[in-house]
Structure 1
Amino acid sequence: MQAATGLTLTGGLGVRIEDVLQLDASYQSALAASYRRFRSGGNTLYEFGDGPESAVADTVDDLLQIVKRIVNDPFADKRLRGGPLLAELLSEPDDAPANYVYSFGAFLLRELERGSEERRPEQWKRAWQTLDGLLPSDAPTQTLDSANAAYQAALDTLQTPTAAADKSADANEPRIVDDIRRFIEENYAKPISLSLLSDTFQLSQQHISTAFHKHVGMPYIKYMTRVRMENAARLLSEQPDAKIFEIAESTGYANVKHFSYVFKKHFGVTPGEYPSR
């Protein structure tokens, strides 16, 4: 096959089963065995054993979860902190074969892309181009640092809004603004910034700011303050014995003095003077 197509074929052979209900277990063990290609190369049929396969599979799964969290969780640390795991997977962190390094980066992108509808084709194209450019196929080896840098750069392209994205979003502004409002209403207790909204909705900060003001009639920060104050009043009514600092923390304010200042400015009374207290 390789002589005819130039492609390699790598497979994993799972554990034997006695019942069809065990098929998933056999599949998972075959998948774990196939992950050895990242450490030992491709074009091989790997058979599952109780030794290194499970450890390699756990490492791959852990790295994949880190990458998914970076890209999909708006509150996640956007830095790729998988260095120790990557070193464990590649086994030779100071001088790993370049094709192994690229193969694992391609695997991460494919797993992210599988079934994803949130990102646009041009973003995936840029991600693949970034990986190809930073991990060229003609390089004999790659260091752990260069692998991390390449993976991070490819992931960054999936988080960076583009002018084209802004333009294509114009027709859907009302829906997008509704989504932003819902996001604020569901996450008001967390630190929400314009930068976070930009990362989450894959639009520029300017576009979000302009569209929100246009369709809601107020800046996003004013809308978020109103949502937080309404919820603060609700909590004060529902939890009359709660401490003021607890109400502040529950509505996104780390500083109780600032919370009290904003509350009085909004309602005309301090939290302690609020009628329900």
Structure 2
Amino acid sequence: MNLEHLKALVAVIDEGTFEAAADLLRVTPSAVSQRIKALEASVGQVLVRRRLPCTATDAGALLLRMARQVQVLEAETSAALGSSGPARAHLPVAVNADSLATWLVPVLHQAAAWEDSVLDLHVEDQGYSSQLLREGEVMGAVTSDPVPVSGCRVELLGSMRYVPVATPGLRRSFSGSGRVDWAAMPVLKFNTKDNLQQQLLTAKSLPQFPPTHTVPSSQGFFAAVKAGLGWGMIPELQLTDELASGALVLLEDNVHQDVALYWQAWTLDSERLKRLTAAVRRAAQDRLLPGDALEANGPSRAGYTRQK
């Protein structure tokens, strides 16, 4: 498992094509192809699916994960030996859109001062991000999966609280006798995997589901709610003064959803990874609800998942 061959594998998967990988490594596409073939010959298995974009096979995912770990350790070793210039290690991380837009922002501020690292953020559904760990795509992930991926540590970060909100005008338009007409009032969803709003509506045993708009952006989703396009479950962390000012109103009092978030990361003895984990942990402690709040709320969160 030649180091240059492993670097070629990472480049091909990250860049998507042999040509782009060659540009990144400053070699010819033929050289990249030869390195991948040599690596496949050494392990006796196909590692890369030759398609657009190129993807790793199951065997390739195993080597991809090792290759990324080797790159991090190589950078740290070079720095410890005092090599010229900063040895920047790539830190691929999976995070859901709501977290990136809210409580995780302080981590970005801290990472701006890390001259030895480069963050590669993968915005993925929190229910899917742990799969990226299994495939070797990332070294850490904010996930809703409490079961540790093989070779990873897991810790509970806390929970994000979501509340159902809408503009006052939208609520007035679809309210009668002081009650909201849930079957008629338009609703938003983040994507096809976002069932948080649907779960709330299902619990009301409606005769039909209302018109549903799709807005696949955390900031755009919030903007659409404020524009009156529909109602949605919004993280309390995004509601800075909208409720106090009356720009948005709660559709039901004492109704919320707490989504548990976990941090999973490789069990790799890396100072850069330890620093990243510490930064994520501090940010979560400052902004998320503590872990004991999850147990206290218990059934209030059952069956609700915001896949964004």
Q: Smaller-chain TM-score range?
A: under 0.3
The higher relative CO (CA closer than 8 Å, separation ≥ 6) is in 2
Larger Rg: 1
Normalized per residue, the structure richer in strand is 2
Q: TM-score when scaled to structure 1?
A: 0.26
